[in-house]
Amino acid sequence: MRDLKHMIFFENLLQEANNELVQKACSEGKLALGYNCSHIPEVLLDVDGCFGVRLRAPNCLSPDMATYYMTNRSCPYSKSILERAFEGGYNFLDALMGQECCSTMNRMEQYFDYCKLMPKEKFFITYLDVPLKKSEWHMGYYKRQIEQKIVNPLHEVYGVDFSEEKLRDAIERHNEVCRIITEIGNMRKLDNPPITGYEFHVIQLVSLTCPKYLILPYLRETLEELKTRCPEPEPWFRARVMVAGAEIDDPEFTKLLESCGAFVAADRYCFGSMPGREQIVIKEGQTALEAIAEKYHVNNQCPRNMGPENIIQRKRYVYDIAKEYKADGILIESMKFCEYWGYERAQLSMWLQQGYELPGTIPVCQIEKDYNNAATGQLRTRFQAFVESLEIKQIQGEL
């Protein structure tokens, strides 16, 4: 396939948090609001005068300073973010929207404040107490949290306007991003898709890490380009794979997997599009803030959500997405020392292989990885073996 027009530009944007578009938005006087988790309502950070940046630490290979503060048995994603903060990589931020659902990430965010890492005078950090269950009451509690921890502080410190009109405008812009990403992602359902999993991963990441109003023209153009892009006569891959798991914000991980013959057809992991790129629908009688709270509370598939109904629902969600995107198998990943995804990876793998509470079974490969792709040799061996096992099942008619 011919190269996508903006792919090199997108790849360059992912080389650092303070990328070209972030610098442009800051120069125009926009407030840069960082966040680390899908529990934070991304759309709220993109109201008029602001833009949200989901924090990454590309090319962070040795988080030595962060390890001193957080120990060597802490989540490597959190340590890498803290390390980059010590290096000054996020000095452009005006505020950091944190959450208390992951103790390690919460600890990392607290060090932004304790160590006075951000130079801007009005910089502040806020922490959401995210509910563990899903119900009408819990959704109401979540709405109060985003009011108290995001809306009110930003209005008081920076005078940000969160009026109904401004919120609906932000939702409209957010929904356009979601429509584009979803339409591009749906192309992966085709037997011979006009896009690779790596390319989709890059496109999804820039939609999270760049100001929406600046990245949207490039996303629109890329969607139109993909509509007329002709794939090779025969599919280039040997098996279709879904990836589920924790933080995967390095598209080189997807490139490595696809170099082993797998096509990444679906992405249910932190920083992925499933869930997250569903449009926000304002129901009759709802305010914009109520619609935002409902979307981010109900749709979230984080393994932190407790209770039998949530545990079963998460497994069915992964299974249904795998079938919808015609995945031959599922690669389940967890970050080292990630408590939530460590348990979820083991449980999800067992349920999928045995068909417990599911309509059927599906082949699974489990891996535990560091934040960066240091152990590429070991990962390549695991990926190659998994792809070969899926090919054998195809030949034997088991898939």
pLDDT tens figures, 26-66: 999 999 999 999 999 999 999 999 999 999 999 888 899 99
Element (H, E) at 54: strand 50-54
Q: Give me the chain's average pLDDT, please.
A: 94
pLDDT number for residue 102: 83
Q: 10 Å Cβ neighbour count for 187?
A: 16
pLDDT for the residue numbered 100: 81
In 3D space, the residue among 27, 136, 4 whose CA is nearest the CA of residue 92 turns out to be 27
Q: Are the beta carbons of 279 and 78 closer than 8 angstroms?
A: no
CA–CA separation, 95 and 5 (whole Å) = 34
What pLDDT is attached to residue 71?
A: 84
- Cα separation, 323 vs 156, whole angstroms: 47
Residue among 88, 85, 87 nearest 98 (CA): 85
Q: Which residues contact 353 (CB under 8 A, 6 or more apart)?
A: 361, 362, 363, 364
Q: Extract the tokens encoding 35.
A: 């966040």
**What pLDDT shows up at residue 375?**
67
CA separation for the pair 316, 173 (Å, rounded): 31
Report, as ranges of residue numbers, the positions in the chain whose pLDDT lies below 50. Answer: none
pLDDT of res. 79: 94
**How many CA atoms, within 13 angstroms, populate the side-chain half-sphere of residue 313?**
15
Distance CA 275, CA 297 (A): 11
Residue 39 tokens, joined = 């529990």
Rounded CA separation 110/113 (Å): 5
pLDDT for res 399: 67
Write down the pTM of the prediction.
0.96
pLDDT in tens, 133-190: 888 999 999 999 999 999 999 999 999 999 999 999 999 999 999 999 999 999 999 9
SS3 per-residue string spanning 311-362: HHHHHHHHHHHHHHCCCCEEEEEEECCCHHHHHHHHHHHHHHHHCCCCCCCC
Please state, as a whole number, how many other Cβ atoms lie within 10 Å of the Cβ of residue 114.
11
Orientation angle between helical segments 212-227 and 197-209, nearest 10 degrees? 160
Q: Quick one: angle between helices 251-259 and 376-395, nearest 10?
A: 50
Burial of 15 (0-12, 13-18, 19+ CB in 10 A): exposed
pLDDT for 88: 95
Distance from C-alpha of 209 to C-alpha of 54, rounded to nearest angstrom = 5
In angstroms, rounded to a whole number, what is the distance separating the alpha carbons of residues 85 and 79?
A: 10
